[in-house]
Structure 1
Amino acid sequence: MTAAPATLRARTPVASMLLGGLLPVAPLVVLVPLLTWAAAGGWAAVSALLGVGISAAVFVLGVLGIRGVLSGPTATTMAGAFGVLIVQMAVLAVTIWALAQTTWLQVLPLVVAFVVTGLVFQAGLVVGYLRSRPQLDVTLPGEVR
């Protein structure tokens, strides 16, 4: 059997997933507001920066919520995961609505930043999960190498 490197064994799947989700989001904190500022001005860039930050925070809290769901009874896992998703979407919707009540915020850059950050974070979660799984090298009975 091939053993995983010590750094992979020491990290839990949740930590790998959070790291996998947050690393690709980090450049978005600069890139999205900068592109938004170039396209639509300063307040749009502030709106986009808020969108990236709030979206990343909500998705990190969602991963921690899923960790809590998975530590509970297995019969409620799917319902609990769906509940976490609904809470995340509700928090994002209420946040968009509340921020849209202000006079300075531009909603479109905020929403675009929410969506882009969410997609990048979710893709990073998958990559982090796949990297957290140890690889097994098994020789089956009768198999010659």
Structure 2
Amino acid sequence: MRTIQSRSGARSPVRSMLLTSLVLSAASVPVIALVAWLWRGQTGALSALVGALVVVGFFVVGHFGVRAVVAGEPGLSIAGAFVVYFGQLITLVAVFLVLRRAGWLDGRAFAAAAILQTLVWQVGQVVGFRRGRHEIYPDVTLPSGRS
């Protein structure tokens, strides 16, 4: 798979967004599980851990799916991104249906962890985007001959 770059060769901020979200997730998942353990006990901690990891998996798979689609034919980007998102939702519903029958699952801890982890991931996306390098004038040639 090729790296997402502009015509002048500058990288897009997509990698920074993913890495920042993963770093924040790596820090937040144990904290979320610990808070759930204090709130709901051992079952709550395990449920929160599963909830947070389901969210991280959802976003990571979506990131790489959309990245692969965007690297392909430009005219199919929106349709391809929709297919990736629709596939994610189907998988998520399947995960929920399987976990619904799990007797050990604490629904409140799972849901709270999923919501918190979603917020953490989104903050990571915004921070990563702000810290990423953005090409402002991709078609401008400098007097030195460089783009």
Q: Please, what TM-score do these two structures have when normalized by structure 1? A: 0.76
Letter of the 1:17 counterpart: M
Give the whole-Å Cα distance in 2 for the aligned partners of 1:93 and 1:113.
17
State the shift of 1:136 in Å: 5.8
Amino acid at match of 2:18: L
Q: Which residue of 1 aligns with 2:125?
A: 125
Give the number of the structure whose residues are more often helix, by fraction.
1
* 13-22 vs 48-57, which moves further: 13-22
- Where do 1:62-77 residues align within 5 Å? 62-77=62-77
Residue aligning to 1:95: 95
Decide whether the 8 Å contact of 1:96 with 1:111 is kept in 2: no
- CA shift for structure 1 position 10: 9.3
Distance 2:116 2:79 in 1: 26
Q: Which ranges in structure 1 are unaligned for 5 or more consecutive residues?
A: 1-8, 139-145
In the other structure, the counterpart of 1:22 is 22
> Which portions of structure 1, spanning 4 or more consecutive aligned residues, are displaced by more than 4 angstroms?
9-12, 135-138
1:48-67 matched pairs, under 5 angstroms: 48-67=48-67
SS at match of 1:103: coil
Q: CA deviation at 1:11?
A: 7.0
2-structure distance, mates of 1:32, 1:42: 13
TM-score, normalisation: structure 2:
0.75
Return the letter of the residue paired with 2:112.
V
Q: Quote how far apart the aligned CAs of 1:130 are.
A: 3.0
Residue identity in the other structure for 1:73: E
Gaps of 5+ in 2: 1-8, 141-147
Q: Is structure 2 residue 25 aligned with structure 1 residue 31?
A: no
Measured after TM superposition, the shift of residue 14 of structure 1 is 3.3
Structure 1 residues 62 and 87, CA gap change in structure 2 (3 angstroms): same
Q: Percent identity?
A: 36
Contact 1:32–1:49 (CA under 8 A) maintained in structure 2: yes
> How much does 1:87 deviate?
2.0
2:42 counterpart residue number:
42
CA RMSD of the aligned region, Å?
A: 2.5
Q: Is the 8 A contact 1:21 1:123 kept in 2?
A: yes
Would the alpha carbon gap of residues 65 and 124 (structure 1) be closer, same or farther in structure 2, given more than 3 Å must change? same
